[in-house]
């Protein structure tokens, strides 16, 4: 099989959702399709400490969660599926965002009883910014939820994206009859169990389906669908692939219902790995030279060896175990000897990989997040990974002042690696850390103690609103502890506003000062 054939089979995606919307349940069902697990519930086992014997870092064991995103891959219907996990809950961190730089499409799960929730919005923004195609699964139709039309309207309004319902539900909760499958031109009947009945539209007139078609709930849904067909947007695969339209599916991950139809349609429409921009122009996935970039580094996955694993997204060529590559940033050669592919929670050795695949490579303390590795002598770097504005800030000092040197070294290395963001107070030079989620602080504290032998004191300064300033508009006398002026790693000035209210007050009083939101998608 040619590299091009291999690439066209790859589907690399992440599932995004707010906690409890059903991401784990959906992942389980997809793994069942891939025959990766024998019964649903295995993924869930994570929470009950099933993996306590694994050698992941200590903190992970203590909390019974996976600190960083893992990768699951399996063959399905002739495709090679790679699912990247995006941690939520209290393990929500910058890694969650960065994972989205390594996927080609995204599945967004929405709880029909709740609609769009906070974490979904955050993750969605990143996808939108990057133009990643988004497929939506509205979950928990086996329960009484919100009206489908209302849910679509909410997606369009809150997320500013066109919707195209691929399926349309007839009833919900106790009255849930199934869904119209607009794409497959069939009605998928819900039988209250795992068995779905597929009735082609043409057969709905048959007497055996009389009871279904004459049901008031069915008829109401049919009328609603007619309305959607008339007034709704046209389906456009181009708009889907550019991230401007999201195909929407209704179902229940738990039942499961509508999952197979969703997944089959998704897999056939979702894009294969696309060419990526680099400093040397666009690099095609079937470029003969292997290349990829690192989007995550996990330290101490095996405490006995103190090793670090860098997660690499393959972007071109063919990866072969033991191959020699160059680190584009330094030009130094590196041998990719210990490679691993991630299958659920186990680590298998990978022999070869193609664009779209994620491999774990042994990191001899050489890599930084965003690094490009390339085979051959023609060096280039993929686009820098975006910076994600932190939401929580803490002042950090060493408990023991005698350890100032290790303290600085540790912070600098961890910051360089991308574990956490560092800011310096514009006048006092005191260190302020910024993180997307609480977990990043725990990991930071743990690693400072275990790798650099320094105990740190963290003093929260709250959930600030960071806004970047243009250098010519910086006047330090305008800021104080409330709206704090700091510098980021690249010496750009940033104001950490106490809250939205403070920021708006500032805006009203200084309309001429441009406050830059790195996260603004519009």
Residues that bind ligand G4P (CB under 6 A): 17, 19-25, 44, 139-140, 142-143, 252-254
Please, what is the minimum distance in Å from the beta carbon of residue 261 to ligand G4P?
Answer: 14
The answer to whether the annotation marks 86 as part of a ligand binding site is yes
Q: Is 22 annotated as a binding residue?
A: yes
Region at 94 (left for phi over 0; alpha for psi -120 to 50; beta for the rest): alpha
Q: How many angstroms from the chain centroid is the CA of residue 242?
A: 17
Nearest approach in angstroms of CB 332 to ligand G4P is 41
Cβ closer to ligand G4P: 44 or 332? 44
Query: Is 231 marked as a binding-site residue?
Result: no
Q: Is residue 264 annotated as involved in ligand binding?
A: no
Q: How many CA atoms lie within 13 A of 47 on its CB side?
A: 7
Q: Which is nearer to ligand G4P, 190 or 493 (CB)?
A: 190
Nearer to ligand G4P, 108 or 448 (CB): 108
- Report the alpha-carbon distance of residue 358 to residue 68 in Å, rounded: 14
Nearest distance, CB of residue 113 and ligand G4P, angstroms: 9
Tokens 């790859």 correspond to: 10
Check whether 437 is labelled as a binding-site residue. no
- Smallest distance, Å, CB 144 to ligand G4P? 10
Nearest-angstrom CA–CA distance, 40 and 409: 45
139 is in an annotated binding site: yes
Host H or E run for residue 217: helix 216-231
Question: Of 85, 133, 123, 102, which Cα lies nearest the Cα of 276?
Answer: 102
In angstroms, give the least distance from the CB of 296 to ligand G4P. 20
CB of 117 to ligand G4P, least distance (A): 10
Q: Which one, 254 or 486, has the nearer CB to ligand G4P?
A: 254
**Which structure tokens are listed for 85?**
């996990």
Query: What's the gap between Cα 70 and its chain centre?
Result: 11
CB of 167 to ligand G4P, least distance (A): 14
CA distance 80 to 89: 29
> Which is nearer to ligand G4P, 21 or 334 (by Cβ)?
21
Q: Which of 447, 458, 374 is nearest to 416 (CA)?
A: 447
Of 72, 57, 77, 75, the residue nearest 23 (C-alpha): 72
Distance CA 474, CA 9 (A): 51
Verify cis geometry, omega within 30 degrees of 0, for the bond prior to 208: no
Q: What is the DSSP string of 136-149?
A: EEEE-TTS----HH
**In the complex with ligand G4P, which residue's Cβ is closer, 43 or 359?**
43
Tokens standing for residue 112: 């029909």
Q: Decide whether 91 or 371 has the Cβ nearer to ligand G4P.
A: 91
Taking the C-alpha atoms of residue 411 and residue 7, their distance in angstroms, rounded to an integer, is 39
Least gap, CB of 388 to ligand G4P (angstroms): 21
Consult the annotation and say whether 23 binds a ligand: yes
Min CB(30)–ligand G4P separation in Å: 12
Which residues are CB-contacts of 168 (< 8 A; sequence separation ≥ 6)?
A: 148, 179, 180, 182, 221, 224, 225, 228, 250
Q: Please answer whether residues 79 and 9 qualify as being in contact, where contact means their C-beta atoms are separated by less than 8 angstroms.
A: yes
88 in a labelled binding site:
yes
Is 5 assigned to a binding site? no
Residue 21 is assigned to a ligand binding site: yes
Instruction: Please indicate if the annotation marks 87 as binding a ligand.
Output: yes
Q: Which of 464, 435, 444 is nearest to 398 (CA)?
A: 444
CA distance 167 to 143: 17
- Say if residue 330 carries a ligand binding annotation: no
**Tokens 């996260």, located at residue:** 519
Pair 27, 109: CB distance under 8 Å = no
Q: How far is the CB of 403 from ligand G4P (least distance, A)?
A: 40
* 89 marked as part of a ligand binding site: yes
In the complex with ligand G4P, the residue whose CB is nearer, 17 or 291, is 17
Closer to ligand G4P at the Cβ: 23 or 98? 23
Of residues 407, 454, 410, 461, the one with CA closest to residue 433: 461
Tell me whether residue 172 or residue 315 sits nearer to ligand G4P (CB atom). 172
Could you identify the residue written with the tokens 């349609």?
265
- What are the binding residues? 17-24, 85-89, 139-142
For the annotated binding site for GTP, the residues are 17-24, 85-89, 139-142
């Amino acid at each position: 099989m040619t590299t091009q054939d291999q690439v066209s089979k790859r589907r690399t995606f992440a599932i995004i959702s707010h906690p409890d919307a059903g991401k784990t349940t959906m992942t389980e069902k997809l793994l069942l399709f891939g025959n990766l697990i024998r019964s649903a519930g295995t993924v869930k086992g994570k929470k009950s400490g099933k993996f306590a014997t694994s050698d992941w870092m200590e903190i992970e064991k203590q909390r019974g969660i996976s600190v960083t995103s893992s990768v699951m891959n399996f063959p399905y219907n002739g495709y090679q599926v790679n699912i990247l996990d995006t941690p939520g809950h209290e393990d929500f961190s910058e890694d969650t965002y960065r994972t989205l730089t390594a996927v080609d499409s995204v599945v967004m799960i929405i709880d029909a009883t709740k609609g769009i929730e906070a974490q979904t919005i955050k993750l969605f923004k990143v996808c939108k910014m990057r133009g990643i195609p988004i497929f939506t699964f509205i979950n928990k139709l086996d329960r009484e939820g919100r009206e489908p039309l209302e849910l679509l309207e909410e997606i369009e309004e809150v997320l500013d994206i066109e919707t195209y319902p691929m399926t349309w539900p007839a009833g919900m909760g106790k009255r849930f009859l199934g869904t119209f499958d607009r794409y497959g031109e069939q009605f998928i009947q819900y039988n209250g169990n795992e068995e779905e009945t597929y009735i082609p539209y043409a057969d709905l007139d048959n007497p055996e389906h009389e009871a279904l078609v004459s049901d008031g709930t069915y008829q109401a849904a049919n009328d609603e669908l007619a309305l959607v067909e008339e007034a709704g947007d046209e389906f456009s695969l181009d708009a889907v692939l550019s991230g401007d339209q999201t195909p929407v599916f209704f179902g229940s991950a738990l039942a499961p219902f509508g999952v197979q139809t969703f997944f089959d349609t998704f897999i056939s429409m979702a894009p294969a790995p696309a060419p990526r921009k680099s400093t040397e122009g666009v690099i095609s996935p079937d470029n003969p030279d292997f290349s990829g970039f690192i989007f995550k580094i996990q330290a101490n996955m095996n405490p006995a060896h103190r090793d670090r694993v860098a997660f690499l997204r393959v972007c071109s060529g063919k990866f072969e175990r033991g191959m020699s590559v160059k680190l584009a940033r330094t030009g130094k050669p590196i041998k990719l000897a210990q490679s691993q592919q991630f299958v659920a929670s186990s680590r298998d050795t990978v022999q070869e990989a193609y664009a779209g695949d994620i491999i774990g490579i042994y990191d001899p303390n050489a890599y930084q997040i965003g690094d490009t590795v390339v085979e051959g002598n023609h060096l280039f770097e993929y686009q820098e990974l975006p910076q994600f504005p932190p939401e929580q800030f803490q002042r950090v000092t060493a408990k023991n002042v005698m350890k100032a040197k290790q303290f600085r070294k540790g912070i600098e290395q961890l910051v360089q690696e991308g574990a956490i963001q560092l800011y310096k107070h514009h006048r006092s030079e005191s260190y302020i850390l910024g993180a997307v989620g609480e977990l990043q602080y725990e990991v930071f504290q743990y690693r400072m103690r275990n790798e650099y032998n320094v105990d740190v004191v963290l003093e929260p300064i709250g959930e600030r609103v960071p806004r970047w300033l243009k250098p010519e508009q910086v006047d330090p006398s305008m800021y104080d502890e409330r709206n704090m002026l700091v510098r980021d790693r690249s010496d750009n000035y940033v104001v950490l506003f106490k809250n939205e209210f403070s920021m708006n007050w500032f805006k009203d009083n200084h309309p001429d000062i441009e406050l830059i939101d790195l996260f603004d998608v519009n």
